[in-house]
Chain A
Amino acid sequence: MGSITLKQVTKNFDDVNVIKPLDLEIKDGEFIVFVGPSGCGKSTLLRMIAGLEDTTSGNIEIDGQDATHTPPAKRGLAMVFQSYALYPHMSVRNNIAFPLKRAKVSAAEIETKIANAAKILNLTDYLDRKPGQLSGGQRQRVAIGRAIVRQPSAFLFDEPLSNLDASLRVNMRLEISELHKSLATTMIYVTHDQVEAMTMADRIAVFNGGIIEQVGTPLELYQHPVNKFVAGFIGSPKMNFIDVPNGDTNGASSLGVRPEHFIISQDTGTWSGKVGVIEHLGSESFLHVTLTNGSTVTVKADGDCSLQYGDSVFLTAQENKVHRFDKNGVTIKASN
C-alpha cells in the first residue's frame, strides 16, 4: 500500500507562507511528478510528506493513517536526494545496509537484500567501493538501492537527476521508470524539468507560488491546460502567446499556439512575419519568426526546411489547436 492524501496542508517559514492550503490525493502505485519553477514549493511539500519539514496546518495521511506529526523513519517512506546524500565513509554495501541495520534486520537477510538490490541496479561489482570512487550515475543508483531495500510504501525523489549530465539523465530516467513498473510502488518525483515530468509521470502536479495550478496526466496538461502558466510550462519549446489587443469573439485577450501546431506558408496565413534565427536539430528545425505586431514566436518545421534567415512567411494555427486565455490568463473553455 502507498496511498498519500494531503488535506488543506500549509507551510509557513516564519511569516512567509510558502505552501497555501492544498489538497491532493496520490493513489497507491501511482507515479506522480511535482513540477514547477524554482521556489514554487514543490520540494518543500515533498519534504513535508517525508517528515523532514513540519506541517504548519492541515493533515498528511499515509495509507489512511494520519502521519502529519509522525517522525520521518516511522512513515514507511524512502527518499532519494538531489545530492545523493550517501554516507561517504561507508562502502556501497554499508550504505545500502544502513537502513536495514537501523531496523534490526538479521545479518543473513541484510546480505540477501543487498545482493538483490545490487543485481537490479547493476552494482554487484561496486559493493566494496566507497561513494567517492563511483561515477554520478552509480552514486544515484546506490541512493536508489538504499531506498528500495527498505521496501517502502512510497518513494520520494527530490530532483534526483539534476546533478547528472544529459545522456546519463536520459538513461537514469528510463531506469527509474522501469523500476516503477517492476516494483509497482507509489513514487513522488520532484523536478523542474518538464521533459522528465512528461516522460515519466502517470500524473503531473504543476506548482506555482505555493499552489497546485493543475493536476492531470501528461497529455491532459498538454492538450487542456487550465491556464496560461500551465500552458507555458508544459511542452518544449514552450507555447507561443500572441496578444489580441481588442479581444476576439470568444473574449480571449491572448491566444496560445504550440510551435508544432503552426502551418507555414509563403503565400497566405493568419499572421505574417520574417524568419529570424533557425535552429537545425536534424530531425526538425525551430524557426524564430518575428510577427508584424513585433512579437516573436517559435515554429517547428521539418528537419530539411529550406527557409532562410530574413524570408517572409505566413503562419496559421492548425484547426482546433488554438488555446484562448482571458485577461486573467485563465483558459476559455469554449475555445476552438
Chain B
Amino acid sequence: MSIKNNTRSTLIYTIAAWTVSSMIFFPILWTLITSFKTESEAISATPTLFAFEWTLINYSDVLSRSPYFTHFWNSIVISLGSSLLGLLIAVPAAWSMAFVQSKKTKNLLMWMLSTKMLPPVGVLIPIYLLFRDFGLLDTKLGLVIVMTLINLPIMIWMLYTYFREIPGEILEASRMDGATIGEEIFHVLLPIALPGIASTLLLNVILAWNEAFWTLILTAANAAPLTAFIASYSSPEGLFYAKLSAASAMAIVPILILGWFSQKQLVRGLSFGAVK
C-alpha cells in the first residue's frame, strides 16, 4: 500500500518538476529556435516550432555587424575579474566573521545582506557621477569594481556559511603548530573550503555575466559586455527578432554550458549549511 503511495507521489512530483522546468526553459528554447528562422518566419502570425527552413544567416549577420568577440572578451574580463577581486576581499572577511566573531558580527552580516534589497536605481545617480569624475565610464575596470561591490555580500555570505562548517579546532591546531594567520588561511582553510570557494566563484561569474542594469548604464562601446551587445539589437529601426535571438543565443550559450557542467558544484554550494 505504502509502496503504491510512494510510487504515485514520485510520479506526481516528477510530472510537476518537468512541467515547471519546461516552463522555465521554454523561452530559452524559443530563442534558440527563432535564431535559426528568417526574419519573416520569426514574426509569422502562425509560429512554427520545428517545421521551418533552418538558416544560419542571422548568426553570420550578427557576427558581421557587431564585434561579438570584443563583447565576449569584455564579459569574460568583467565577470571573472569581479569574481576574483570579490574573492580576494570576501575570503578574509568571511574568515574573520566565521572564526573571530564579535557581538556585532551577525548584525554586520544582516546589514550587508540588506544592501542587496536596495533597488539599484536608488544609487544610480551618485555612482554615475562618481564614475564620470573618476573617468571610469565605459571602462572594464569600472565594471569590475561595480560588479564586485554588487556581489560582495553574496560572496561573503556563501563563504561564511562554508567556513562555519569547518571545525574551528583544525585552525586552532594549525595555530598551535606555529602557522601564521596567512599560513592558516592558505595552507589549511582554503584547501579545505575549496569546493565552497569554487561554487562561490562560479555563481558570481554567472551573476556578473548576466547583469544588465549597470552594464547598460555605465558602458557604451569600449567596455560593453554581451548584455549590452544583445540590447543593441533593440534598435530605432525596429526589432529584428531572428537577429536578436541569434545575438541572445550567442550571449547565453557560453554561460549555459558553464552552468550545465558545474550544476552539481553550484547546487552543493548553494545548499551548503542547509543540508550537510
Q: Does the CB pair A83–B169 fall under 8 Å? A: yes
Q: Does the CB pair A73–B170 fall under 8 Å? A: no
Given known A52-B172, A83-B169, A85-B172, contact A99–B177 (CB-CB < 8 A): yes
User: Which of B170, B172, B173, B179 has most A Cβ within 10 Å?
Assistant: B173
Chain B 229-250, CB-CB to A under 8 Å as 1, else 0, gives 0000000000000000000000
Q: Quick check: is A16 within 8 A (CB to CB) of the other chain?
A: no
A73: B residues at CB distance < 8 A = 175-179
Secondary structure type dominating chain B contacts: helix
Given known A85-B170, A87-B188, A89-B192, contact A102–B176 (CB-CB < 8 A): no
Q: How many residues of B contact A (CB 8 A)?
A: 16
What is the CB-to-nearest-CB distance from A47 to chain B, in angstroms, rounded to a whole number? 8
Q: Quick check: is A50 within 8 A (CB to CB) of the other chain?
A: yes
A85: B residues at CB distance < 8 A = 167, 169-170, 172-173
Q: Does the CB pair B170–A52 fall under 8 Å? A: no
Distance in angstroms between the alpha carbons of A87 and B173 in the assembled complex: 9
Q: Does the CB pair A102–B183 fall under 8 Å? A: yes
B31: A residues at CB distance < 8 A = none
Given known A81-B169, A83-B169, contact A88–B176 (CB-CB < 8 A): no
What is the CB-to-nearest-CB distance from B231 to chain A, in angstroms, rounded to a whole number? 45
Q: Quick check: is A146 within 8 A (CB to CB) of the other chain?
A: yes
Nearest neighbor of A89 in chain B, beta-carbon distance? B191
Chain A 94-105, CB-CB to B under 8 Å as 1, else 0, gives 000011001100
Q: Does the CB pair B178–A99 fall under 8 Å? A: yes
Q: Quick check: is B139 within 8 A (CB to CB) of the other chain?
A: no
Q: Quick check: is A77 within 8 A (CB to CB) of the other chain?
A: yes
A48: B residues at CB distance < 8 A = none
Q: How many residues of A contact B (CB 8 A)?
A: 22
A81: B residues at CB distance < 8 A = 169, 172-173
B183: A residues at CB distance < 8 A = 102
What is the CB-to-nearest-CB distance from A96 to chain B, in angstroms, rounded to a whole number? 10
A71: B residues at CB distance < 8 A = 175
Q: Does the CB pair B174–A79 fall under 8 Å? A: no
Q: Does the CB pair B176–A50 fall under 8 Å? A: yes
A146: B residues at CB distance < 8 A = 173, 177
Given known A52-B172, A83-B167, A102-B183, contact A88–B192 (CB-CB < 8 A): yes
What is the CB-to-nearest-CB distance from B185 to chain A, in angstroms, rounded to a whole number? 13
Q: Does the CB pair B175–A52 fall under 8 Å? A: yes
Nearest neighbor of A146 in chain B, beta-carbon distance? B177
A88: B residues at CB distance < 8 A = 170, 192
Q: Quick check: is A216 within 8 A (CB to CB) of the other chain?
A: no
Distance in angstroms between the alpha carbons of A146 and B173 in the assembled complex: 10
User: Which of B172, B176, B188, B191 has most A Cβ within 10 Å?
Assistant: B176
B172: A residues at CB distance < 8 A = 52, 72, 79, 81, 85
Distance in angstroms between the alpha carbons of A99 and B173 in the assembled complex: 10
Distance in angstroms between the alpha carbons of A102 and B179 in the assembled complex: 6
Which of B169, B174, B191, B192 has a CB less than 8 Å from the CB of A98?
Answer: B174
Nearest neighbor of A147 in chain B, beta-carbon distance? B176
A252: B residues at CB distance < 8 A = none
Q: Does the CB pair B192–A78 fall under 8 Å? A: no
Within 8 A of A (CB), among B157-190: 167, 169-170, 172-179, 183, 187-188
B176: A residues at CB distance < 8 A = 50, 52, 72-73, 77-79, 99
Within 8 A of A (CB), among B4-41: none
B177: A residues at CB distance < 8 A = 73, 98-99, 102, 146, 150
A50: B residues at CB distance < 8 A = 176
B179: A residues at CB distance < 8 A = 73, 98, 102
Given known A73-B178, A73-B179, A102-B179, contact A79–B192 (CB-CB < 8 A): no
Distance in angstroms between the alpha carbons of A82 and B167 in the assembled complex: 11
Within 8 A of A (CB), among B81-136: none
Distance in angstroms between the alpha carbons of A310 and B247 in the assembled complex: 91
What is the CB-to-nearest-CB distance from B264 to chain A, in angstroms, rounded to a whole number? 20
Chain A 57-101, CB-CB to B under 8 Å as 1, else 0, gives 000000000000001110001110111011111000000001100
Distance in angstroms between the alpha carbons of A82 and B172 in the assembled complex: 12
Nearest neighbor of B166 in chain A, beta-carbon distance? A88
B175: A residues at CB distance < 8 A = 52, 71-73
What are 19 A-B interface contacts by the 8 Å CB criterion? A50-B176, A72-B176, A73-B175, A73-B176, A73-B178, A73-B179, A81-B172, A82-B169, A86-B170, A87-B173, A87-B188, A87-B192, A88-B170, A88-B192, A89-B192, A98-B174, A98-B179, A98-B187, A103-B178
Known contacts A87-B192, A146-B177; 5 additional CB pairs below 8 A are A52-B172, A83-B169, A86-B173, A87-B173, A99-B176
Interface residues of B (CB under 8 A from A): 167, 169-170, 172-179, 183, 187-188, 191-192
**Nearest 3 interchain pairs by C-beta:** A102-B178, A99-B177, A85-B173
